[in-house]
Amino acid sequence: RQKLFNRLQVILQHLKMSKHTDSTAEVLLEKRGGAGIITLNRPKALNALNLSMIQQIYPQIKTWEQDPETFLIIIKGTGGKAFCAGGDIRAITDAGKVGDRLAQDFFREEYILNNAIGTCKKPYVALIDGITMGGGVGLSVHGHFRVATEKTLFAMPETTIGLFPDVGGGYFLPRLSGKLGYYLALTGFRLKGRDVLKAGIATHFVESEKLPALESDLIALKSPSTENIADLLNSYHVKSKVDQEKEFVLDEHMEKINSLFSANTMEEIVKKLKQDGSPFAIKQLETINKMSPTSLKMTLRQLREGASMSLQDVLTMEYRLSQACMRGHDFYEGVRAVLIDKDQSPRWKPAALEEVSDEVVDDCFKPLGNNDLKL
């Protein structure tokens, strides 16, 4: 009877799989060789992550984790432009405005998925070819291996829309070298291609056109260990010559970034930038002046606290922040200005850093009681 039961499980699993391999499905889940493969399949939406995709990916990762025949998990995007450009912000905005549960459920389930990736017992390989921002970073950065290509475009641009660099940004950003993570978080600066590797966000760099071959080789590995997978990725990595000689785009500015972004408050960072007065500093000031002052203060504290927290504690903190944003003004205004009306002129409330009190920021970090994220 146990044998029959197991057989039925396999058949059901297969039926579920074939349903998901339908080309119109938003996410394709398939098993090939020893690899479980997750393909984000919303190319027109740049593979933006929505709740139904999260609800399919999470249980599948958990199933593969338990399966002795699955040795690694690969995640990739279709369409050639993006790995995943972020979370489905429009849907969350509409829900948040009318107090719909989606504004709670999306962040809750997304962060639970981010944690599953960060604690995954099977080697997890993210092929971050193309645009990888926000929610797409959450699907990749906490995994064992992140393979960037010359087409990778990384950013955490959340302060532009009155949000904060979530999906565990409070964990990985302050752990980048010097104050690089603070700089990326507060300015939304975009890193391209090999710079994503040099920043410490990707673990390997492989030319985009070599990814199908790399994927085939990963699938063909017989009961591989993490070391075998690392060796295979390294063998592709060392053969990739694109931009090999170029120095890191921020190299010449790292000394300034480390000193200017080491201040304890946003006001101090702004003051330091003004005092510095170099073209680089002035450019950063212009960028920061466009961001939501509330988001900037929230983000600086998120990173400072997250620097010494576990990923789980960071995600719990970020869930509180996400709900504070849903209750506030700037998120809806930022989405309106950037994504809906596209006038790029958000009217932030409060409009200046000095007007964002410590009490307001403290309030964003307060526990939510029974509604806290449980990991």
Tens place of pLDDT per residue across the chain (375 aa): 766 666 666 665 655 554 455 668 999 999 999 999 999 999 999 999 999 999 999 999 999 999 999 999 999 999 999 999 999 999 999 999 999 999 999 999 999 999 999 999 999 999 999 999 999 999 999 999 999 999 999 999 999 999 999 999 999 999 999 999 999 999 999 999 999 999 999 999 999 999 999 999 999 999 999 999 999 999 999 999 988 889 999 999 999 999 999 999 999 999 999 999 999 999 999 999 999 999 999 999 999 999 999 999 999 999 999 999 999 999 999 999 999 999 999 999 999 999 999 999 999 999 999 999 999
> Residue 7's pLDDT is what?
64
Burial of 76 (C-beta count, 10 Å sphere; 0-12/13-18/19+): buried
Q: Which of 166, 195, 330, 333 is catalytic?
A: 166
Q: Which of 34, 77, 87, 118 is catalytic?
A: 87
Element (H, E) at 195: helix 194-198
Q: Is 268 a catalytic residue?
A: no
User: What's the pTM?
Assistant: 0.93
Read off the DSSP letter of residue 45.
Answer: G
Q: Is 372 a catalytic residue?
A: no
Q: Which of 36, 135, 169, 306 is catalytic?
A: 135
Burial of 79 (C-beta count, 10 Å sphere; 0-12/13-18/19+): middle
Amino acid at 347: R
Is 287 strand, coil or helix?
A: helix
Sign of CA dihedral 107, 109, 112, 116: negative
Q: Which of 88, 110, 129, 158 is catalytic?
A: 158
**Looking at the DSSP assignment, which residues form a beta bridge with residue 192?**
153
Is 131 strand, coil or helix?
A: strand
* Residues whose CB is less than 8 angstroms from the CB of residue 60 and which lie 6 or more positions away in sequence, other chains included: 29, 36, 38
> Residue 24's pLDDT is what?
84
User: How many other C-beta atoms are found inside a 10 Å radius of the C-beta of residue 33?
Assistant: 16
